[in-house]
Each structure stands twice: as structure tokens, then as C-alpha cells.
Structure 1
Amino acid sequence: MTERRLNAATLATLPPDIQRPNYDRAATKIGIVHLGLGAFHRAHQAVYVDDVLAHDPDWAICGVSLNSLDVRDALAPQDGLYTLALLGEQPTLRVIGAIREVFAAREERERVLGRMSDVDVRLVTLTVTEKGYCLSGGELDFDHPDIAHDLANPRTPVSAIGYLVEGLRRRKAQRLPPYTVLSCDNLPDNGGKLRRAVVAYAQRLDHDLACWIAENGAFPRSMVDSITPATDDALRERVCDALGCVDAWPVQREAYTQWVVEDAFCNGRPPLERAGVTMSDDIAGYDRAKLRLLNAPHSALAYLGSLMGIETVAQAMGTPVLAAFVERLMHDAIVPNVAAPRGFDAPRYVDAILERFRNPAIQHRLSQIAWDGSQKIPVRLLGTIADALAAGRPIGRLCLPIAGWLHFVRRQARNGVALSDPMNDVLSQVGRRTTGDATHDVDAFLAIDAVFAPLSADARFVAAMRSAYAALGDGSPDAVGAALL
């Protein structure tokens, strides 16, 4: 294997079929600090910013890894450069240049805070996962160890919230305007939750600072979407062979990507729309459409496909009876019950999702999608059913994936296999008591109010669930296939 390393010096020597930045990196300025320098950010938002820099050089990224040293140690010797592999029938490789600086906060706290209080930085973005916000019940958890530490030591923070507030405090002291804080994590009302957490934390430290943030800051909501498989040695080897040099940490994702951002910034913003970002005032509408039109069919494939012995989404879409059912489910049962945002083309979105599901280059395992069904079923399917009932529309097709989940739970429980679900104990107990009788089994599951209330009190829903459960018979592959027809 070659010892040459991807970096600014070797960039010009790459083979001509490798895409590379089409702007002068040396002429760019760091205008964004990103907290949480994981694979998703580098495969998603940083790629959009790479496109933005061709139009406006003021928005290069300083990437900050809050906990790990690994990303900095991999990318700093590469001048922030790394390779993106787009997975499809004809995979393509592209070197991304948007990240000009890489810090590991554990060892470089002052450099991070210094950059956050730089006048040129006008936007701070985050992908720290939901747990990185230190929330409980949607509000800041003051008992969280990281928050307790930061309140006691506000000048040396360890949490994302602590860094945001200390950076803003320094800007206020320097009479600089605040930066916009943009959450790019997949949690409902991400900007609203983040605003409340930041202001609540600041209030514990300094009332005037909290008021300044509340009055002058901005926390737009956003929605992101793209499947990003983990980097593995096979990807590293493939990239090295193609580039003729070593990339310590390439990333990969499907070709499809979506980023929807609320246009509510306080200190200027990148021309994101020129890079394909959708600017909208209805992020909740896009979130709802994604939950119902993307995530609900994913769950349908997971439970019905698992019962049929299928392992991945692409394999499920290669099973004609299951693929046809999911397509009908989306077009005929879900689309009519989605209140879409203005300008949103639901049929076109469905077609794009179906194409994504069929992508053989993405090995998305059904067993993983099946995790946490008690948390996913209510937001992915039960809301659509409630809207359909209110409108007097049929719900039989919508109930079949839920019945598939019940059969899946029953099978796992009777085989002594624990569920990857926070309600494993309750679900497994019900699953072990099932008899195969639709009325008995469905009524036992619907009694779990944490999942099914208040729909479980609707006789139409109960009847449809009993019918769907019975249609799946004993939950065997042949019985499921017959039900899908």
C-alpha cells in the first residue's frame, strides 16, 4: 500500500476522475464552527458547504470533535481533506475541502473557544446526537454530569451546551454579535429544544447573558436525511487504490441527500439554497412527511420482511410481493393522510424513497431498523392512522405493518430473544402470553397504553388490527406473503 497521504500537496496529483474542490481553498475564510465531527456531518452538511464555497468563500468550516481524538488525528495531517464515496450502481469518489481546521476539544479547548469568538465566525452547527443535548423530557437536564460540571466550571466546558454559551459569553464581552446556532440532529423541533436549553443554562450563570442570547440569538430548525454507512477497511482500501494515496478516514453515503433549514439566522448566512438546501418555514411539515413517508415504510419492511426471513432493505425491495405492498402503502394509504409543506411534491418524494430502498450498494439491515418499535410505531404509523380515521378513510393497509410488529414481538418472545427496545420487559411478557388467537393477542398488546392509547379505545382501529393480525396467520413467510397479496 502506498505511504503517500491525501493532503493539500497531493490533491493536484489525484487521478482526473476523482472530483475535487472547484475553488481556491487558500482564499476561503472560516465562517462556521461545527461541533460533533462525525461521519454524518462530513458526508452531509460539509458537502453542501463544499458546494457553497464555490459561490462564497466566507463559510469554510472549523470542525470540532468534542470527545474523541481520532478524527482530528486522522484529518489534521490531511489538511482537513477527506474522500466521500457516493454509493450507487456507479459509485463515485469526491474529495471534500470544506473543513479547513480540525480541533479535538479535550486537548484544544481554548483554540475551540477562540474560534467560536472570532468575528468571522457567524454560524455554529451541531451533530452531537440527541444525547449530546443533555435533555430530559425535552428540556435541559441540570442533573446531567456534564451540565453540572459546566455550571461549576463555565470557562472550561465539556458539553455542547457549555461550549455554545461560553462562546456566546465571549462574543458579548467583545461586543460582537452572536452566531446563529443550527442543530443538524434528527430530533423534532431541534432548534426550539436547543434554544431553550442554551437560554436555561445561561440563566443559571448570568441573567443578562441569557436575555442577550434570547433577544439577539437565532436557533433555526432543520431536517436532514441521507443514509451514511460506517467507514470500514474495505472503503479505506478502495479509496486508497483509486486515489493512489492514503485517506485515513473517508466516508460513504447514498447518493440521495436532503437538508431543509428554517430561514431564521441572526448574523448573515451562507447561500445554502445555491447548494440545493431547501429553505422553509415549515420544518415540522418536512419532519412529519419524512416520518410518515420514509420511516413508516422502513418499519413496514423491517417487520414484515423479518417475518419472511429477509435481511436487508434492498433484498426486501427485490421481493416482488413485499415491494408492491410497500409501494401501495405509500401512495394509496400514507400520501392522502400527510399534510405536506407548501411546494412539497409527495408522489415524487415517494418515488425517490422507493429508488433509495432499491439501492443494492446500501446494506441496511432490517434487524437494525426493527429496534425500538415501541418508540417508532406511534410517530411513524399511529398518527397517520388517527388522521385517516378522522377523515373517514380506510386503515386496513396501514394496520398490516403494526400487526407485523406484533407477530415479530411474539416470535422473539416465544423464542426467548430479547428485543432491542426500552419496553422489552413489557412487550416480551405480552408476547409470551399470546395464543395465536387474533382477538386475544391484539387486545393484550393494545392494552399497552404507552404505545397505543388513545387509539386503542377506537373500535374501528381495534377491529382493523384484529383483521390484520389474523391475516398474517402464524407469521410464517408463506402466511405473510399471502397477506400482502
Structure 2
Amino acid sequence: MKTQVAHYKYDRAKVQTGIVHIGIGNFHRAHEEFYINSLLEDPTQQQWGICGVALLPSDEAIVKKLKQQNGEYSLTICGRNGIDEVVKIGSLVELIWGVENPNAISDKIAVATTKIVTLTITEGGYNIDKATNEFILEDKNVQHDLTNPSQPKTVFGFVAEGLRKRKLQANGGITILSCDNLQHNGNVTKKAFTTFIEAQDKDLAAWVKTNVTFPNSMVDRITPATTVADVESLNHKSGLNDQAPVYCEDFIQWVIEDNFAAGRPALEKVGVEFTQDVTKYENMKLSLLNASHTLLSYPSLLFGYRKVDDAMHDPIFKKLLRDFMDIDITPYVPAPEKTDLDLYKTTLIERFANKAVSDQISRLCSDGISKFPVYVIPNLTKMLNDDKDLTRVTFLIASYRHYLKYKVDDKGVAYQINEPWLTPDDQKLIDSDNVLDFLELSAFQNINLKSSDSFVKQYASFAEKIKIKGVAKTLESI
């Protein structure tokens, strides 16, 4: 039986581009594009179409597929009740591939009708040193862009060139809005871009101070990678011939600090929350959802699971995550106004177990170097200061070491790791047979884990148990 497709009801020919979005991955296409697609039904909001920008050579395939479809694609929303909904998305009205047409990106940022630049460039994409919390000016591509402003390679160089043209054309202020999972993502974005611009062009830096805003935001929607088999399955259900379909869960949330330099879409009409301070929202989400995903990822992969929902239907993992949320994290998560924290946690468990979404555990495991400092370390620091039970966190870090070092699960099945920000020094620490060396990994540079005797003892014990007995037996002992 085919799933009915809900087509957008607005005339795309009447939609203007008001937003430039950099990073046209699945999450963006299930989240911001979905919200804007809904908003464009309102004839007073049709100046907020999106121009998608892809910067990487590896983006060629998705760019070509989307261009063949005039930017349109289908989004399958997988209900926890087993009922799916397919929505045709038309809000991506323009598309630029930086490799093919780099000047078009800065021209689009500069034009007066563009009011907002949004970003999904991953947690690690902001080029912030984890030890110093400073922007890495020494990066070779950054150095290239500092001296070759009209031929940028990085997102910082492209945006700076666009702002420079905007300033010269006197086209007014603009907002840069991060949609990545980072604590105070707007503050991080501001630090990265303003540091780069200050080093490249002091006149532009002065203009940015008074003409560009960087709101904080919190985003949430579980959106798996789409495999070749998924494309076939999604099209079979929808009856479409979509080369770039996306699927996601039925939960969605976007909370944004209301700080826009040149106006904004009325997204509150379609369920987005605007606030003066997103801190409680982002702390709740990063501490409970993202940290729990991280806790689930490495042990469940080593256990032998490959799909998140399969792991979450195992009572041992369901209990591990719920205990982590209730015992370890809740004391450090003040609930935002009108939020029922118990309901939020129960809903998270249901979301993770949603078989229709069936996210890949390997996706959750990827880029731990960037994720640990954001999702785990802030609350671990508080737990150490308060002399809390560290069982589940020490088990997680021991599992992470085993995952990086041995690359074989409990059942003898090999797996590939994806750690784009792993340094040569990190690799030496992973290769070391002294389990304590791992605690100096770049992911843990902002915390001295060796200073806690209880942490060290428990972590070393778990590392040894996992090596000898495997994750399954070790987890049973917790």
C-alpha cells in the first residue's frame, strides 16, 4: 500500500530567496527546510525561500541529484505509532555548488534580499581548538583564505567574502544562525567568524560588529543517513522516483534566540519557539539526548548491534540510558518553562526505539573527538566536582577507547571508524597499551581525568574487563 504524499500548495515561482544555507545534508533537509516549507504556505512569508550551498567536492552527487529535481525532494516522517507521512519539500529554491561556482556564494550572501545565513557544518566544522577554546588561525586552509580573500576554500572565507561584498554594496545587516549541535552555538559561531574576519580584514570586522548578529539556537530531529536500500524502500512506499529522499522521526523542535539583524521569518506560525535565552533548552537537549546517544553508541556497537532501535529494544541498554538520564544528568538539567522533564526523558526512549527510523549506530559513533567535549564533558566536570557515582561515564570512556583501538566487536565482526578530527598525537595515545594514556586524548583536553583517583580506578577496571570479557559481560556487571 502506497503512502499518500502531501504536496506543498504554494507557487514556487513566487518564492524569493531570503536565506542562504551552507551544508545541505539530511538533517537540514528534514529540519529547517521542513519548517520553511510549511511557512511558505502563508502568502505573507514567501520571501523566505532557501538557497542551498554545498562547499565540498564530495557534495557533487547530492547536488546533481537535487538539481535534476529542481531542488525538490520527499521527506518521509516516520511515526512512533507505525504510521508514516510523506511530504514533498519545495523550499529549496536555489542551489549552489562552491566547487563549480565559488563566486556565486559570496554574491548570494551579498544581495539585499538575503537576510539570514544558516549553517549545518557539523560540530567540528567551526575550527575551534578543544584545549584553548580559540579559533585555529594556523589551519592551512584558513591561512590560504586569509591571504586569498577572493578565492576562498573554507566556510569562513566564503562568508567573509560575501559580507565584504554586502558592505561595499551597502545592503545592510545580516544574521548568521548556526543549526549545529553545540552548546551556545551562536557564541561559537561568532567567535569563529569574527576571529577569522579580524585577522583578514579589520575594516570588515568593524562593520560586522554593528551589522551582523549570531543568535544561539537549539535544534532537534533524529535524521538517519539515507542508504541506497533506503532510497529504493522510500520510493516504493511513496510511489515517487526521488533520487534524494530523506526520512526522519516524527518529533521536531527548534528554539531560537530572537536576535535578528535584518528581520526574520514568522516561524512561530509553524511551531518554532523564539526566546531571549536558549540555555536551558540546549542544556536539556545536549545533556539528555546527545549525551545519551553517545553513551549508547560505542557499547552497543561493540555488543554487536548496528541499528539504534535494535539496541534500544534490549532491556540492558534501555536501563543503562534511563539510569544515566535519571541519576547522572537530571540533577544538572534545569527544565525550561512548561517542560515536563520526566515526559521528555520517556519520549527520548521512545524516539530512540522507533523502528521506522532505524538509525545507524555507526553514525552516532562518528566524530567522537568533537562530540565528547560538547555532550559529555560539561556534566562530567560537575559530577567529578560533586563526587558523584561515575560508573556509567567511566564505562562509556572505556568503551570508546576499545572502539578506537581494536576495531572488532564482541562477535569478532570488524567495523570502520569515522574520526575526521583525530590527530597523530591522538593515535599514539590510542595505540598505547597503558590505558591511562587514553585519558589525554584531545577530546578530554578540557578536563584532567587523571586527577580523580576514583575515575581512574573505575575506568581502568572497565577497560581491562572489556578487553578480557567483552562489553556484554562488562555491562551485565553494572
Q: Same fold (TM over 0.5)?
A: yes
List gaps (5 residues or longer) in structure 2.
none
Residue 477 of structure 2: aligned partner: 483
SS at match of 1:74: helix
Amino acid at match of 1:246: N
Give distance in 1, aligned partners of 2:392 and 2:23: 40
* TM superposition shift of 1:464: 5.5
Contact 1:28/1:59 (8 A) holds in 2: yes
Letter in 1 for 2:327: D
Change (3 A) 1:409 1:125: closer
**Partner residue of 2:99 out of 82, 106, 120:** 106
Question: How many pairs does the alignment contain?
Answer: 459
Structure 1 residues 109 and 325: alpha-carbon distance in aligned structure 2, compared to 1, 3 A threshold: closer
Matched residue of 1:100: which SS?
strand
Are the counterparts in 1 of residues 402 and 467 from structure 2 also a CA contact under 8 Å?
A: no
Question: Please, which of 46, 50, 61 is the counterpart of residue 57 of structure 1?
Answer: 46
Return the alpha-carbon distance in structure 1 between the equivalents of residues 378 and 393 of structure 2.
11
Is 1:84 aligned to 2:75, yes or no? yes
Amino acid in structure 1 at the alignment position of 2:108: R
Q: Whole-Å Cα distance in 1 between the matches of residues 129 and 382 of structure 2?
A: 29
Which residue of 1 is the match for residue 289 of structure 2?
294
Aligned counterparts of 2:231 and 2:417: Cα–Cα separation in 1 = 33
- 2:203 is the alignment partner of 1:216: no
Aligned mate of 2:10, from 20, 23, 28:
23
**Structure 1 CA distance for aligned equivalents of residues 23 and 413 of structure 2:** 38
2:428 maps to a residue whose letter is D
Do structure 1's residue 32 and structure 2's residue 19 form an aligned pair?
A: yes
TM-superposed CA distance for 1:33, in Å, is 1.4
User: Offset of 1:41 from its aligned partner?
Assistant: 1.6
TM-score scaled by length of structure 2: 0.82
1:294-313 to 2 correspondences below 5 Å: 294-313=289-308
Contact 1:407–1:475 under 8 Å retained in 2 = no
The worse-fitting range, judged by mean Cα deviation, of 322-331 and 139-148 is 139-148
Quote the Cα distance in structure 2 between the aligned partners of 1:33 and 1:449.
Answer: 36
Identity, % of aligned positions:
32
- CA distance in structure 2 between the partners assigned to 1:246 and 1:405 by the alignment: 40
**1:230-261 deviations in Å (ceiling 9; x for gaps):** 23333333444455553222222222233232
**Counterparts of 1:420 and 1:107, CA distance in 2:** 27
Distance 1:21 1:155, change over 3 A: same
Within a 5 Å distance, the mapping from 1:253-272 to structure 2 comes to 253-272=248-267
Aligned to 1:181: 176
**Correspondence for 1:350 among 345, 349, 352:** 345
Change (3 A) 1:468 1:128: closer
**Aligned-pair CA distance for 1:70:** 3.5
Distance 1:416 1:319 in 2: 20
Unaligned runs of 5+ in 1: 1-14, 434-440
Q: Is the 8 A contact 2:224 2:360 kept in 1?
A: no
Q: Secondary structure at the match of 1:21?
A: coil
Q: CA deviation at 1:80?
A: 1.9
Aligned positions of 1:234-249 closer than 5 A: 234-242=229-237, 244-249=239-244
CA–CA distance in 1 between the matches of 2:171 and 2:381? Answer: 49
Of residues 441, 451, 459, the one that matches 1:457 is 451
Paired residues for 1:365-444 under 5 Å: 365-370=360-365, 376-377=371-372, 379-391=374-386, 393-402=388-397, 404-405=399-400, 422=422, 423-430=426-433, 444=436
Contact 1:168–1:178 (Cα < 8 Å) also in 2: no
Could you say what secondary structure the match of 1:23 adopts?
Answer: coil
Q: CA RMSD in A?
A: 3.6
Matched residue SS, 2:432:
helix
Deviation at 1:470, TM superposition (A): 8.8
Structure 1 residue 123 and structure 2 residue 116: aligned? yes
| Residue 62 to residue 279, structure 1, CA distance change in 2 (3 Å) | same
Partners of 2:439 and 2:69 in 1: CA distance: 56
**Greater gyration radius:** 1
Q: Does the 8 Å CA contact 1:149/1:157 hold for their aligned counterparts?
A: yes
The 5 A counterparts of 1:63-78 are 63-67=52-56, 68-78=59-69
Deviates more, 1:460-469 or 1:246-255: 460-469
TM-score w.r.t. the length of structure 1 is: 0.80
Cα drift, residue 460 of structure 1: 4.6
The alignment partner of 1:58 has SS state of coil
Structure 1 counterpart of 2:90: 97
Contact 1:62–1:101, Cα closer than 8 Å, also in 2: yes
Distance, in Å, in 2 between the alignment partners of 1:154 and 1:175 is 19
Looking at structure 2, the residues matched to 85 and 321 of structure 1 have their Cα atoms a distance apart, in angstroms, of: 30
Post-superposition Cα deviations, 1:138-164, rounded to whole Å, max 9, x if no partner, equal 544444444344444433434322222
Partners in 1 of 2:18 and 2:382 — Cα distance?
44
Equivalent-residue separation in structure 2 for 1:446 and 1:136 (angstroms): 19
Q: Is the 8 A contact 2:256 2:274 kept in 1?
A: yes
